[in-house]
Amino acid sequence: MEIPTPAQLRAKRIQMGLKQADVARMAGISQSMVARIEAGSVDPRVSTLAKIVNVLQAVEKSAVTAADVMHSPVFSVTPEDPVSRAIEIMGEKGISQLPVLENGVPIGCISESAITNAMEEGGLYQKHQRMVRDYMEPGFPTVPPTTPIDTIVHLLHHSHAVIVIEKGRVQGVITRHDLISLIT
């Protein structure tokens, strides 16, 4: 086993998105001890160093990201599609909402609830064809594939889905159902 340098420990902690206080709490040592070890101002016991290394390794193994839970392809519509197209896709795929993409960029969403609200208001029974843009709602939040699962969970408390984007391109989508499937 190679003994990591203080700089390596600090770099790994930062890479894992952890604060010194997080490592200290999980390792059962003080935050000031973690700071001093990372600064190289103290020569820690092997047992203390092992605790820190074990914490960093455990976090690295359990670091689930958006890329791990997203599914693709992402079914979507454009603002110029007829609402009937959105209804058709939702029915075929067994989903209740779709992102609305314009030139591959998410600009909103359309959901069963928006469509049923329009039906209640009589908006879908008019003579001219209704387009997705007429019933579009604000879009889903977007994240990069490296986003930690904790962030995804938080976002899904406030939204029906999260869109995963890399280099300006939609890569996948995550819904609450996708998170629930992590339990099994």
pLDDT, one tens digit per residue, over 17-36 is: 889 998 999 999 999 999 99
Residue 88 domain-assigned (yes or no): yes
Sheet containing 142-143: which strands, arranged edge to edge?
142-143, 161-166, 169-175
Is 76 a residue whose pLDDT tops 90?
yes
Range of the domain at 125: 67-180
Q: What is the pLDDT of residues 112-159, one digit of tens each?
A: 988 888 777 765 555 557 899 988 999 899 999 988 888 898 899 988
Q: What are phi and psi of 159, to 5 degrees?
A: -145, 155
On whether the CB atoms of residues 77 and 133 are closer than 8 A, the answer is: no
User: Could you tell me if 56 and 79 lie in one domain?
Assistant: no
In the chain, % of residues over pLDDT 70: 92
**Interval 154-179: pLDDT, tens:** 899 988 899 999 988 899 999 988 87
Residues 37 and 73 in one domain: no
Per-residue pLDDT at 98:
93
**63 has a pLDDT exceeding 80:** no
Q: Three-state DSSP class for 164?
A: strand
Q: Single out the residue of 135, 79, 80, 147 nearest to residue 111, CA to CA.
A: 135
**144 and 73 assigned to the same domain:** yes
Cβ(16)–Cβ(56) below 8 Å: yes
Residue 75 has pLDDT above 80, yes or no: yes
**What's the token pair of residue 81?**
């599609």
pLDDT score for 39: 93
Of 61, 79, 108, which one is at a domain's C-terminal end?
Answer: 61
Q: Domain check: are 57 and 146 in the same one?
A: no
Q: Across residues 95-103, what is the average pLDDT?
A: 93
pLDDT computed for residue 168 by the predictor:
86
Domain with residue 148: its CATH number is 3.10.580.10
Residue 121 exposure: Cα atoms within 13 Å on the Cβ side: 8
- This prediction has a pTM of 0.63
| In the predicted structure, residue 15 carries a pLDDT above the cut 90 | no
State whether 112 and 166 are in the same domain.
Answer: yes
